[in-house]
Structure 1
Amino acid sequence: MEFWPEFLAGTSGREFIAGGVGGIAGVIAGHPLDTLRIRLQQPRTNPSVAPIKATALLRQIVAKEGALALFKGMSSPVATIAFQNAVSFQTYAVVSRALQRREDDRHTLSYKNVAVAGVCAGTIQTLILSPVDLIKIRLQLLTDRVSTARAVRAVVGPLDVVRGILRREGVRGLYRGLTITVLRDAPSHAVYFGTYEYARECLHPGCRRNGDESLLTMLTAGGLAGALSWVFCYPLDVVKSRLQGQLPGGGPLRYTGIAHCLRRSVEEEGLTVLWRGLGTAVTRAYLVNGAIFSAYEMTLRFINPRPPGDLGLKAIDLSA
């Protein structure tokens, strides 16, 4: 049998493809706002000056670097997001099915086990996400580190960044920030998937069983899931961005670890630094995750005409 028909014939194959499509849709929808978020989270060169607002930063980037600068670093996540998101959603579905078999003939998975499956999905995906995020952040911050008043030869692409990291830090350098990424993503994915399942059931009662929710329900529930999960994990994301934004080899590192970064950031810039850029992140998360869940669910329906329900937990044959 040819590879694709055989691959798509199984539940895991359909979930993998749908997760990849959802991931690509999310990157396209939200990368410009992600660039703003990363730059807003970085330490200020002059703490006495009030932090720049998102709208002012947007105008500054467009005026000095051009509109395409908002898409800087996008090639790295686009090249890998399909696989990363596919792994995340498939891990969630596989763990969910395993947990559902332990429950007493329930039509839908309990929210407690939805959270457990979300923690597993968030943990597994960090093995892919951590180096990708590192490369993306280095590219997004690149122009901030070179003078705009004079020509400076700088790294311009993902492969250049990877070569530079390997040369200075070795393979281990690609996983700088892995611990903080796990601490951020494992619990936030419990909130993420739990909010989505709860919100779509509230908006369209019975849809977790029969899988017949509307596109508007998918968009709204997915958006709420993304926004709430980011509010939950945002202080850790600020620490992560600062740790991964450092360039080893140019002198002593500003932050030596998670606790040091958290303590020094608060001491220098106050508690509000842990929420800087939150509005941009939440807006982006709503758009991105509405797109991700909608693309995921619609792709499942396209591949398999039967309603997917429960992300493949009920309507799709569990023995596939």
Structure 2
Amino acid sequence: MLQSSGAFSNGWAIDTTAPVDLNNSNDNYHPVFKAFLAGSFSGTFSTILFQPLDLVKTRLQNSSQNVVAATVNRIQPGMITIFANIVRQEHIIGLWRGMVPSVARCVPGVGLYFSSLHWLKSKLGKENLGPMEAVSLGVIARTMSGVALIPITVIKTRYESGVYKYNSLSGALRDIYRAEGVRGLVCGLGPTLARDAPFSGLYLMFYTQTKQSIPKEWLQSSSTASVVHFSCGVLAGIAASLATNPADVLKTHMQLYPDKFPNAFSAAIYIQQTYGVQGYFKGAVPRMLRRTLMAAMAWTVFEQITRSIGLK
């Protein structure tokens, strides 16, 4: 395998270079803490920048609104139509609806993901990870962060949908717990993990295969390395996003309408009967754009930060 390869989970990179010695007494900060900070910083800007794409994706997947629109207009609203409607009804600022829970989820989520991954790599104690080892660690790390932040994921989806009118993040947590209990705070966990955890492994596979087809001198050149990493990240992100989009659609339905869709099976039946197979790819375009651009950007930023703070 190449000396440096990567994968993204929820738009984030998995760095598979050798783990740093956790017992290094010459460093004032623990490497796991450094990985947490680097991952968090790498996700902040891209999360804010690409929030409108995530908002449009959630609106496209909102079955209730789309069924009404289809009944009136006999066509399903597209990405541009949803975008225009948001600007017209909620103004430009409306495109960033749900940004607070997005940042609250993505920023610590990325930090937890990277720090968990770094800790797992150090425990494995190997200089070079094989493809299957990298995939396994990526899935485990993503599962750990995904479970920890599932309540924020639920709130984020509901904020973006336009169906729920929460006033604050803490207020949303309180309202959901009072109305639905703990079950409401973890609804859609299965599809969320089925979406995010495989994304890491799929991305790694697509990323490494694409990278191996690139001439080595391009990867070793300081002038072209960043462009190559970014391009490989985009291509891998597109493929991995399309493969995991059905799980994302199921997750959205379960988190918006937990009473109607108590499990993934009921949501799948509804989508199949209402939209057919194409229903599983609702919101695929904005999600693909957001995930791939965030992934490629996060990879570049994370690489620069980890080098500057001595994590590599």
| TM-score bracket for the superposition, by shorter chain length | 0.7 to 0.9
The corresponding residue for 1:27 is: 47
Distance 1:74 1:165 in 2: 19
CA contact (8 A) 2:104 2:152 kept: no
TM-score normalised to structure 1 length = 0.79
Distance 1:181 1:131 in 2: 11
Shift in alpha-carbon separation, 1:207–1:16, aligned structure 2, 3 A: farther
Distance 1:287 1:56 in 2: 22
CA contact (8 A) 2:56 2:79 kept: yes
Name the SS of the counterpart of 2:98 in structure 1: coil
Counterpart AA for 1:295: V
- Among 169, 172, 177, the alignment partner of 1:158 is 169
**1:1-21 deviations in whole A, cap 9, x for unaligned?**
xxxx99764332221211111
Structure 2: where are the runs of 5+ without partners?
A: 1-24
Structure 1: where are the runs of 5+ without partners?
A: 102-106, 146-153, 309-320
The corresponding residue for 1:171 is: 182
Distance 1:6 1:171 in 2: 44
Name the SS of the counterpart of 1:272 in structure 2: helix
The corresponding residue for 2:270 is: 264
Shift in alpha-carbon separation, 1:164–1:207, aligned structure 2, 3 A: farther
**1:104-130 deviations in whole A, cap 9, x for unaligned?**
xxx642212221112112211212332
The corresponding residue for 2:248 is: 237
Is structure 2 residue 147 aligned with structure 1 residue 127?
yes
- Among 278, 285, 309, the alignment partner of 2:284 is 278
Deviant stretches of 4+, over 4 Å: 5-8, 97-100, 210-213
Shift in Å, 1:266: 0.8
The percentage of counterpart residues that share the same residue type is 23
The corresponding residue for 1:55 is: 80
Distance 1:291 1:182 in 2: 23
Counterpart AA for 1:45: V
Distance 1:171 1:222 in 2: 37
Shift in alpha-carbon separation, 1:20–1:6, aligned structure 2, 3 A: farther
Q: RMSD of the TM alignment (CA)?
A: 2.7
Counterpart AA for 2:183: R
Distance 1:157 1:34 in 2: 19
The corresponding residue for 2:198 is: 187
Counterpart AA for 1:281: R
Shift in Å, 1:229: 2.0
Distance 1:36 1:302 in 2: 36
Name the SS of the counterpart of 1:170 in structure 2: helix
Shift in Å, 1:35: 0.3
Shift in Å, 1:201: 4.8
**1:23-56 deviations in whole A, cap 9, x for unaligned?**
2133123211000001101113335432111011
**1:122-143 deviations in whole A, cap 9, x for unaligned?**
211212332121111111112x
Shift in alpha-carbon separation, 1:11–1:120, aligned structure 2, 3 A: same
The corresponding residue for 1:67 is: 92
What is the number of equivalent residue pairs in this alignment?
A: 282
Shift in Å, 1:94: 3.3
Shift in Å, 1:221: 2.8
**1:55-110 deviations in whole A, cap 9, x for unaligned?**
11111110111111111111112134222101112223333444462xxxxx6422
CA contact (8 A) 1:7 1:13 kept: no
My pick for the range that moved more, 41-50 or 6-15, is 6-15
Shift in alpha-carbon separation, 1:91–1:292, aligned structure 2, 3 A: same
Shift in alpha-carbon separation, 1:171–1:288, aligned structure 2, 3 A: same
The corresponding residue for 1:216 is: 227
Counterpart AA for 1:245: L
Distance 1:6 1:67 in 2: 49
Distance 1:204 1:259 in 2: 46
Is structure 2 residue 107 aligned with structure 1 residue 76?
no
Shift in alpha-carbon separation, 1:255–1:202, aligned structure 2, 3 A: same
